């Protein structure tokens, strides 16, 4: 999968959770995909810390709950 990012601001990120890697898909305000990234499980927080504040959607299962609980939240 290619690592691509454009200059359009990311408003929403979807995270597909795998056993060892996560796939991030970022969408802009117009609904266009502006980010595609495959990252290692341990790099999720670092990667998200370098992106603009936005809505994040994750699939629901017991494993993602512990991953999502460790994400920093902004007010």
User: Over the stretch 46-74, which tens digit does the pLDDT of each residue have?
Assistant: 888 888 889 999 876 665 555 555 666 55
Q: Quick one: CA dihedral 74, 35, 58, 17, positive or negative?
A: negative
| Rounded Cα distance, 68 and 63, in Å | 9
User: Over the stretch 4-40, which tens digit does the pLDDT of each residue have?
Assistant: 555 688 999 999 988 888 999 999 999 999 999 999 9
Per-residue pLDDT at 1: 46
Per-residue pLDDT at 8: 80
Per-residue pLDDT at 4: 55
């Amino acid at each position: 999968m290619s690592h691509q990012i454009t200059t359009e601001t990311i408003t929403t990120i979807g995270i597909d959770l795998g056993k060892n890697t996560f796939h991030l898909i970022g969408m802009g305000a117009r609904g266009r995909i502006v980010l595609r990234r495959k990252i290692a499980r341990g790099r999720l927080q670092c990667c998200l810390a370098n992106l603009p504040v936005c809505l994040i959607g994750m699939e629901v299962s017991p494993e993602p709950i512990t991953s999502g609980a460790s994400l920093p939240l902004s007010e």
